[in-house]
């Protein structure tokens, strides 16, 4: 009889310990999710502030300077697009074999 009671108590203790572990894992997952959300919001705020700053920099320039800046941006975009790989080149490129 005491053996059965002892086994029931051990089983109950094991169940309580496992419930605590699961709750801790859930809290850790929630914390990481919250941190990722905060990082994403900070990133969005940074991008918004950056766009505003760039717009302001252009607005304070004279018309001639703005025109030169736009031409320089077009040249830079054309140069960067020329050096980018096309989407189909990535699909059909030869795969390099690793040396073992």
Residue 86 lies in a domain: no
pTM flag (> 0.95): no
Asked if residue 96 belongs to a domain, the reply is no
Q: Is residue 98 situated within a structural domain?
A: no
Query: Looking at residue 23, what is its pLDDT?
Result: 60
Residues 67, 73: Cα–Cα separation, whole Å: 10
* 78: pLDDT strictly greater than 60: yes
Instruction: Report yes or no on 51 lying in a domain.
Output: yes
**Is residue 74 situated within a structural domain?**
yes
Q: What is the pLDDT of residues 23-49, one digit of tens each?
A: 667 788 888 999 999 999 999 999 999
Handedness of CA 56, 60, 65, 66 (dihedral sign): positive
Per-residue pLDDT band for 99 (boundaries 50, 70, 90) equals: confident
Residue 40's Cβ-count burial label (10 Å; 0-12, 13-18, 19+) is exposed
Q: Are 71 and 78 in contact (CB under 8 A)?
A: no
87 domain residue, yes or no: no
Q: How many domains does the chain have?
A: 1
69 CB-near residues (< 8 Å, 6+ apart): 58, 61
Domain that holds residue 46: 2-81
Whether 42 is covered by a domain: the verdict is: yes
């Amino acid at each position: 009889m005491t053996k059965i009671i002892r086994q029931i108590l051990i089983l109950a203790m094991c169940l309580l310990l496992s419930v605590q572990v699961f709750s801790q894992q859930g809290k850790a997952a929630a914390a990481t999710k919250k941190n990722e959300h905060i990082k994403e919001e900070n990133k969005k705020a940074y991008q918004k502030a950056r766009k505003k700053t760039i717009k302001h920099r252009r607005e304070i320039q004279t018309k001639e300077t703005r025109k030169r800046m736009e031409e320089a941006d077009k040249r830079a975009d054309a140069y960067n697009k020329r050096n980018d790989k096309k989407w189909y080149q990535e699909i059909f490129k030869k795969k390099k074999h690793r040396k073992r």
